[in-house]
Amino acid sequence: MPEPLITIAIKPSGRVSARGADALAATLLRRAGFTEINDWHGLRHRMPLASSSDERAAVAGYAAQMLRAARYRVDIDPQLDPDPPQAPTPTDPLGRYAVGRAVLDLTDQLNAAATAGQAADALDQILDPADGVLIRLQETLEAAAEKCNDVDEDGNSFELSDRFTAASEQLTQIGHDLDSAAFNFRALEPAAPTQQSEERSRQAQVATYGGTAVTTAARATSPATRDAPASGRQGAAPSSTVAQPGPEPTRRAR
């Protein structure tokens, strides 16, 4: 059975009007900010004529999001739609499986990645241990196993619950096995030219420092040998301490 269709349109007067609502949809439209009108024109919901364009877009867009979440089909004016539905796929012509389409978009992003870093960004959306698709799917299956027991009044859900539990545990193990896979994939990215230049500069500085240290060490003189006589001049006094002969005294004539 197809989902009910709600139409949200801008009338020639500029007023935003919604039609096709049942009881639940009417509640959601009122919560979003629409006013319910039921007269000889039939049941409809509309916004005040004095609403600004920003107010119309905000209220109508919020209403469309709630209606879609409640599995209604929404035909909304493109000017008012903040989240237009994805184009249909051959296996999902009505666009009902938005989550699966989001994962398909990640696959397309991975296939189109030109670098290891871009591919790792897509993989991180799947493998992040806290918020990735894999951990969310594991939590969903775990919740499904628990829900089997909650809704089963005759005790016939044990086999189905066990299947969900086993699948959840398998995903947990897969998550552990791929825990650092996105990080390792990103490490495949070659270093940027700037990083390579900085690394070569650092290595050159280290080599220069090492050479200077060796040269300085070779020229250093031990305090124990600093004042020792030079080789081949044993007993010679240092030049700075050799006494210089003074001038001879002048003889006076007789």
For 174, other C-beta atoms within 10 Å of its C-beta total 14
* Residue 245 Cα distances to 12, 103, 182, angstroms: 124, 103, 88
What is the reported pLDDT for 166? 95
Which residues make Cβ contacts (< 8 Å) with residue 55, sequence separation at least 6?
A: 47
Q: Are 29 and 36 in contact (CB under 8 A)?
A: yes
In Å, how far from its chain's centre is CA 74?
Answer: 31
Verdict on whether the full-model pTM lies above 0.75: no
Q: Which residues of 116-154 are buried (b: 16+ CB within 10 A; e: fewer)?
A: eeebbbbbbbbbeeeebebbebbeebbebbeebeeeeee
Taking only the tens of pLDDT, the chain with its 254 residues reads 345 788 998 888 888 989 888 888 889 999 888 988 887 777 888 888 878 888 888 898 888 888 888 888 888 888 887 666 566 677 877 667 778 888 888 898 899 888 998 899 999 999 999 999 999 999 999 999 999 988 887 778 889 999 999 999 999 999 999 999 999 998 988 866 655 566 566 666 666 655 555 555 555 554 555 555 544 444 444 444 445 555 555 555 44
Q: Are 119 and 110 in contact (CB under 8 A)?
A: yes
